[in-house]
Amino acid sequence: MTNKLTKSMLLLGLGVTLSGSVLANHATPRSTNLSAALDGFQEVPAVYTKGSGSFSAWLSYDKLYFSFRYKYLAGPIKFAHIHFGKPGTNGGVIAFICSNDAASAPANVPSCPEPGERLQGMITSDDVVENAAQGISAGDFYALKQAIMNGAAYVNVHSDAFPSGELRGNLDYQANSSAKTPEKSDNYSEKSDDSSQTYKKYPDNTDDDESSKESHRKYK
């Protein structure tokens, strides 16, 4: 009886240890640092604009956490995308970053921020759109990752003044970065020294008020 009890306790302890290890590995995604400086000179063909912007992201195995900001566009922003294409070439859309044109964007895409404000959100397989001409299927997050890792993904910001694109920047992939993925539990807002920049942390999967829905995307 004692031997059976001892074996049961050992197996239970082993099960807890293995479960904890699996959960720890799952909760710590392998992240890489991505960034893109956005301007009109990288557009194809290049455009002259006073506008500028920035896009940074953290890529895990199945999610892309991003932070996006722009200012001084020649016209109101229409939408911003991640496109599939090498520098100096034009390619189709892979995923939406934001959109002020609800008719042309999937339902879960957030509205674009005001100039100078920062939008933070998350892109998953649900956000990858079909680009049949370049071999991309809807929901193929692996294709998005491969495009980014091979220097074939860029951010394009479209405006009323330049519908085909006013700001552009290639996503710079930095492997083995020590950058941290934003934690799911960090559900608060803070401001930097520049009061025009509002930072939103990623929320839990709960109902948000209307103002926060325009600033970030919920966990799925």
Domain containing residue 135: 31-213
| Count of domains observed in the chain | 2
Whether residue 20 is found in the same domain as residue 69: no
Same domain (yes/no): 9, 62 = no
CATH number of the domain enclosing 150 = 2.60.40
Residue 156 lies in a domain: yes
Are residues 110 and 37 part of one domain? yes
Note down pLDDT in tens along the chain; length 220 residues. 545 444 444 444 434 333 333 333 333 344 558 999 999 999 999 999 999 999 999 999 899 999 999 999 999 999 999 999 999 999 999 999 999 988 888 888 999 999 999 999 999 999 999 999 999 999 999 999 999 999 999 999 999 999 999 999 999 988 755 544 444 333 323 333 343 333 343 333 333 333 333 344 433 3
95 Cβ neighbours under 8 A, 6+ residues apart = 64, 81, 82, 123, 127, 128, 129, 144
Q: Per residue in 83-99, is it b (16+ CB within 10 Å) or e — as a string?
A: bbbeeeebbebbbbbbb
Same domain (yes/no): 43, 67: yes
| In a domain? residue 36 | yes
Query: Under 8 Å CB-to-CB from 74, ≥6 apart: which residues?
Result: 49, 50, 51, 159, 161, 162, 166
4 CB contacts (<8 Å, ≥6 apart)? none
- Same domain, residue pair 35 and 20: no
- Pair 137, 93 in one domain: yes
24 and 35, same structural domain?
no
Query: Are 13 and 43 part of one and the same domain?
Result: no
Q: Are residues 132 and 198 in the same domain?
A: yes
pLDDT for position 31: 54
pLDDT at residue 52, as a whole number: 98
